[in-house]
Amino acid sequence: NPPVPPERARRRIGIMGGTFDPIHYGHLLAAEEAYSAFHLDEVIFVPTGLPPHKQADRVTSPEDRYAMTLLATLDNAHSRVSRLEIERRGSSHTVDTLREMRHWYPPDSVEFFFITGLDAVLEILSWKNPQEVSGLCHLVAVSRPGYNPKKMEDLPEAVRRAILPLEIPLLAISSTEIRQRVTQGRSIRYLVPTPVAQYIEKKGLYRGKP
């Protein structure tokens, strides 16, 4: 008789999407807490290309944001960083990324856990095809200071079904504040990993226009 293949559990892959302009300890903690809470096999950080919601702002080049994400996750054996979105022409949408990543794995061999802060989940109705997104992954909604988890009850049932709320130690850190601090010449130590701070310094990022 041919050998029976062993029952293969589905791989559980976390996906941490973000602009990461720059990446900070709020992002890293969210990813790590989701990794432990949902017994994930790994977390893939996916820096956005041209972020659809942020086109009006000046955003740091995808290559710099990718480099900082790599530096921030270097010491974490179960993290990797994908160039998928930064190499895609035009703007990136979560639904396109999920559709594409599904093809990296044999059919039905993987479960995706898309990790977002509560602020992002509450905006999901403004994403491209929110219902399809909800069908392609679990949506891990991590707590973030200033956002009320009760607001998730207002989301349509089809979306709510996909949400896995996750309370994490609240870190009131945002990339916006880090950029402002650098522009003002204030310290960002202990808000971002040291190599990220060194990269920002070396490349002169966020110094503001003369």
List contacts with ligand ATP (CB under 6 A). 18-21, 26-27, 30, 116-117, 119-120, 142, 144, 171, 173-176
Question: 22 preceded by cis ω (within 30°)?
Answer: yes
Using the minimum distance from each CB to ligand ATP, give the nearer residue, 129 or 174: 174
| Rounded least distance, CB 1 to ligand ATP, Å | 50
Using the minimum distance from each CB to ligand ATP, give the nearer residue, 79 or 116: 116
| Rounded least distance, CB 161 to ligand ATP, Å | 19
| Rounded least distance, CB 171 to ligand ATP, Å | 4
Using the minimum distance from each CB to ligand ATP, give the nearer residue, 42 or 105: 42
Using the minimum distance from each CB to ligand ATP, give the nearer residue, 132 or 177: 177
Q: Which residue in the shown chain puts its C-beta closest to ligand ATP?
A: 117
Using the minimum distance from each CB to ligand ATP, give the nearer residue, 57 or 100: 57
